[in-house]
Structure formats: structure tokens, C-alpha cells
Amino acid sequence: MTINNVELTREELEKLLEHKLANIKDLDKNEKDSNYIKELSDVALIQLQLEEYSKSEENYLVCLTYFTKLDDKLGQAAVYGVLGTLNYKKNEFLKSIGFYEKAFGINKKMNQIQEQITCLKGIGNSYIKLHKWDDACNTLLNCSTLCSDNDDIYNLLDCLGNLIYIYEINEEWDIIFELYKKSLKVFKEIKDAKGVITSYFNLGIIEKKKDKLEEAVRYFKKGTNIAIESNYVESIIRGLSYVGEALFYLRRRREAKDQFLKALRIANKIKADNAIIQLNVLLKSLGLSNDELS
């Protein structure tokens, strides 16, 4: 929970909960009206954040009963969605899916786009936890389509990231390659240089896995050039190392050595110790002496 965009500490949450429970006690003497339900939903949210899941769920179910009696569909959908999140946190993934599906059904009828996206992401993530890859993919593909149709770029990137995770587990590299290309397009649209760099590097890694080394070099160089333009030093080191490694496998040892040396000079300048160690090992394997490296 946040107040004025400031995240509360556990101690602050506990104090706020104590205050809210006192309010509830006073309101409980009267009929359970909208004010009572508002306080109770706040209590349930705080309990959820404090991982008091049973108490939180019990209070949310009281809220659900209230909204059901009023035939408040959006209120019901909101509670179902939170119960989906709550059960996900409890590792009760099937229950989580059930609640998210109820929320999604209502939100679809009410044309609540953002809420539909949230539900589909929750369902997809639960299927991932259950290792139900096909169900997860179908759900996340539907979610990504909904995101694309409504220009929700950041949720689209989340969906693509989860799809990539699934296909990586199943080693479906051609599909992953296409997903990285979609991610690259989105990152370019929002002018996210780090996202563009990472996408190019990932495309290069996939091409390298498929022994398409010339293509790998091309993607690695594109990512490295953007890193240079953006002055992202760690990404420059990584990119030069990727290029050097691919050139090494192409038996272009002199070019590979030049890339590794460039990376080493930058690593020494910013004192990137891990990179320095790795690059020294690589360059020694290419025949450079300690004197040449110093």
C-alpha cells in the first residue's frame, strides 16, 4: 500500500491496520454499509500485503457478499481479481485461475480492458507455475493481442517476456526469435535504448545457437553500436565480448582479439572486475601474454 506515492514499511502497515481495525469496530455497531465495506476492503488489502492471507481472504469474501447483494458487477470483479492475486501468492494456482476467470468474465461483459489484461496475465502466470505450457501460451497470446489492440505497450512487453520464458524452457528457438523481433519493435517505438540493445543481443544469441554466426555478429554489432551511442558502458563491454566470441567461432581470431581488447580497455577504465577476469582468460587463450595485457 502507498500513501502519496510512498510505499509503506511493514511497521507503518501494521500501525495503519490497527487504526483501520479500530474504525471497523466502531462501524460494526451499525449496519454494514458502503463506509464499512470501504474500511473492510482497506483492512483486507493491508492484511494481504502483510501476508495474513486467511484473514485477508475472509474479509474480501465479506466484501464480495456485499457487492453480490447489490448486484454491483464491477465490485464483484474487483474482489475476484484480488482473490486471484491472493491465491497466487499462496501458491494455490488452480484457485487463483478460478478467481481470475470469474473476474475476467465480468470485465469482458463490462468492457473493462485494463482489468481484462490484468486477469489474463494472472491466469497465464498461474499456468506457468503449474507447468501447463500450452494453456499458458494460449492465454498470454490472447493477452498480447488485447494489449496490441489497445496500445498497452508495457503489458504487451510483459506478455512477450513470459512467452519467451515458456518457449526457452521448451527450446523452440524459431518462435523465440520472432518474439524477440516483436519486443525489439516495441522497444524502438517507445525509444527504450536499453530494451533495444538487449533485444539485439538476444537475437544474436539465438542466431549463435543456430550456428548462424554471421547473422549473430550483425545483431551483436547493432546492439553494441546503440550502447555506444547511448553511452551504456556495461552494455558496450558485453556487446564487444559477444562480437568477439562470435568472430572467434568464425575463426577470425585477429578480429576477435581486437574486440576483446577494446572491451578490456573499457572494463579496466570502469574497474569492472568480473569482466576484466573473463576477458583476460579469453585473451590468454588467444595467445596474448601478461605483458601484452597489462
Question: In terms of DSSP H, where are the helices of the chain?
Answer: 10-27, 34-49, 53-69, 73-89, 93-109, 113-129, 133-149, 153-169, 173-189, 193-209, 213-230, 233-249, 253-270, 273-285, 290-293
In a domain, residue 218? The reply is: yes
Residue 266 inside a domain? The answer is: yes
The confidence score (pLDDT) of residue 4 equals 43
Domain assignment of residue 220, yes or no:
yes
d(CA 191, CA 123) in angstroms, rounded, equals 30
Report pTM: 0.84
pLDDT at 29: 56
Which domain does 215 fall in, by range? Answer: 173-294
Q: What is the pLDDT of residue 290?
A: 56
Tell me if 147 is assigned to some domain.
Answer: no
- Tell me if 2 is assigned to some domain: no
Cα–Cα distance for residue pair 52/294, rounded to 1 Å = 58
pLDDT value at residue 19 = 87
238 part of a folded domain: yes
| Per-residue b or e along 227-241, where b marks 16 or more CB atoms closer than 10 Å to that residue's CB | beeeebeebbbbbbb
- For position 274, which CATH number holds? 1.25.40.10
Cα Rg for the chain, rounded, in angstroms? 26
Structural domain contains residue 140: no
Q: How far apart (Å, rounded) are the C-alpha atoms in residues 109 and 105?
A: 6
Which cell goes with 74? 464491477
Number of independent structural domains in the chain:
1
Q: What is the pLDDT of residue 59?
A: 95
As averages over each run of 10 residues, the pLDDT of the chain (294 residues) reads 64 88 75 85 94 96 95 97 98 98 98 98 98 97 96 95 95 95 95 96 96 97 96 93 93 90 89 83 69 52
